[in-house]
Amino acid sequence: MGHLRSLSIVIPAYNEEQRLPATLRAIAAYLETKKLDFVEILVVDDGSRDRTAGVVRQAAARDARVRLLQNPGNRGKGYAVRHGMREARGEWVLFTDADLSAPVEDLDRLEQSVERENADGAIGSRAVDRSLVLKRQPPFREFTGRVFNLAMRLVTGLPYRDTQCGFKLFRREVAQCVAVRQQSDGFGFDVEILYIARKHGYRIIEVPVRWANVEGTKVSLLKGLEAFLDPLRVRWNDARGLYR
């Protein structure tokens, strides 16, 4: 591919000592198939209480591409992603969940779509082609996700069918434009970053990816329901001029 020569991969991590070794191995194996001029893997430790930081330091000792970033305590996934995006040095920035529920190989799908459509970024989506969902979420979580998406579209005007999939690729200029304006530290940050990108005229497309639900989600039901307020917060922040 001619488009993607320089890449930063941002992985927010909270208490991920069990999953990270396999995740980092999978990413390293995938990168062997890519011809990249520059690549870095930024693992952002969000105040983990387990050995997450130690696991990343061990990986960094073996692989110079791996860097550990540490948040000042447990600040939330939105804060962790923002921290990684601000530190990223690659021309393109991929943020992926530590559990790789969307396989890292599907970066190829995002990359090809961005190149074909000359877009500024691409978000992985479970809703565009549900046949690619290999293991679904529990029915109630899937139902609330659909209701959330409908509410989000009505409130924000964003066109996306799935804002919450943790697999997103942006040009670095988009990632950094968004990161300096982002207000949300929690799980509602996805809607906000897409809203900011759109407000600043960037073209972000939605691309179907493979996805398998991984047990052990960090999102409690209460946090999930609270996310329904996030689109309203985004509109309120915009009205206050915080995204200019």
Of 25, 31, 44, the C-alpha closest to 166 is 44
Q: What is the pLDDT of residue 241?
A: 98
Question: Does pLDDT of 222 surpass 80?
Answer: no
Is the model more confident about 213 or about 207? 207
Domains of the chain and any CATH numbers: 6-239 (3.90.550.10)
Q: What angle do CA 220, 95, 189 make, to 5 degrees?
A: 45
Alpha-carbon gap, residue 34 to 37, rounded angstroms: 10
Alpha-carbon gap, residue 140 to 185, rounded angstroms: 25
Split at pLDDT 50, 70, 90, the class of 68 is very high
Tell me the pLDDT tens digit for each residue of 69-102: 999 999 999 999 999 999 999 999 999 999 999 9
Split at pLDDT 50, 70, 90, the class of 220 is low
Torsion-angle region of 240 (φ positive above 0: left; ψ -120 to 50: alpha; else: beta): alpha
Alpha-carbon gap, residue 124 to 114, rounded angstroms: 12
Cα maximum dimension of the chain: 48
Average pLDDT, stretch 53-67? Answer: 98
Q: Which residue type, as a one-letter code, is found at position 54?
A: G
